[in-house]
Amino acid sequence: MKPTEQLHHMGQSLWLDNITRGLLTSGTLERYIRELSITGLTSNPSIFDHAIRDTAFYDEAIRGKMQAALTGEKLFFELALEDLTRAADLFRPIHDATNGVDGWVSLEVSPLLADEPVKTLAAAKQLFASANRPNLFIKIPGTAKGLSAIEDAIFAGIPVNVTLLFSRDQYLRAAGAYMRGIARRIEAKLNPAVHSVASIFISRWDKSIAGKEPDGLRDCLGIAVAKQAYKAYRDLLMSPQWLQLAAEGAFAQRLLWASTGTKDPRASDTLYIGGLAAPDTVNTMPEAILLAFADHGQVPNAIPVDGGDCEIVLDRFARGGIDAAKLAEQLQYEGAEAFVKSWNDLLICIESKAHAVHAGAGD
């Protein structure tokens, strides 16, 4: 049994952190579903940037959309929705078989709207309606200003992938927004079965303190933070507040491990896959990491529901001068800035590609 299949049987969903038109047209994504237990995928601006910049798969579509006078963000979202709706259809049997728990794809709203919850909500509604697929998550950052948009989107019946979370406390705030949205739906006599995942970014923790960690704890901070968040997740699912919502028909907001590509060349390439094995969670991994784990990954015991040694490890980091709470806020702020940069880079890429396609058409 492949390591990927072992994780799947443990109860963890394996999602691909990639989407390109080539993956779809070549049948590669179908093969990953069939052979590597992939049951969903995520996307982000950087992924689309590289796919559009480095391949010709999008040239014909860009040419046609330029004739329809589409540019910038509108052009991007049309291209992205074409890919993601096609991927969503591939995952639809999984989605149906799991009653909506699995089989999802994700698309984020423009990060330029991050500080404007009303506009974020409007964009989320528009994208979800345009896709017209029940298994499309709309990604909304779990920042302070994003929480109200998350709550309102859930209340509006829009499935949300809460992104840009780094810590237990940030996760709990996002979970609170999700539950408030569900509670409002119940109060309004609406169906409470609106799905969500909460995405915690892992590898950036260890990259941010490289060379500053206490002896023997290189590449250990991200997993310790994840274990602490996992304990909070399991505790929340047993809380009276959640059990009351579940009794009304609500689905748990699953915890998702994001940014699971190893950034330390000295560490195992599958560090954040084997180290984050846990039932009722999602691990979304870059394509190279997926293939590496399928080839030589090891599946250890699952993360203990009590977080195992996470508090001991985090205390050692604290005594070594690493303030995890402060660093989590810094990482979220820097992540939001990086999202904006990636978005602007993507729009520049699309404009450049559009000019190149137009020039080629005139030859």
List the catalytic residues: 139
Q: How far apart are the first and last CA of the chain?
A: 53
Contact call for residues 89 and 30 (beta carbons, < 8 A): no
User: Which DSSP string corresponds to 54-102?
Assistant: H-STTHHHHHHHHHTT--HHHHHHHHHHHHHHHHHHHHHHHHHHTTTSS
Phi, psi for residue 56 in degrees, rounded to 5: -105, 10
Mapped onto helix, strand or coil, the DSSP state of residue 217 is: coil
CB 80 within 8 A of CB 45: no
The span from the CA of 350 to the CA of 344, in Å, is 10
Give me the residue label for tokens 């049994």: 1
Rounded Cα distance, 331 and 359, in Å = 41
Tell me how far apart the alpha carbons of residues 121 and 93 are, in angstroms, rounded to a whole number.
28
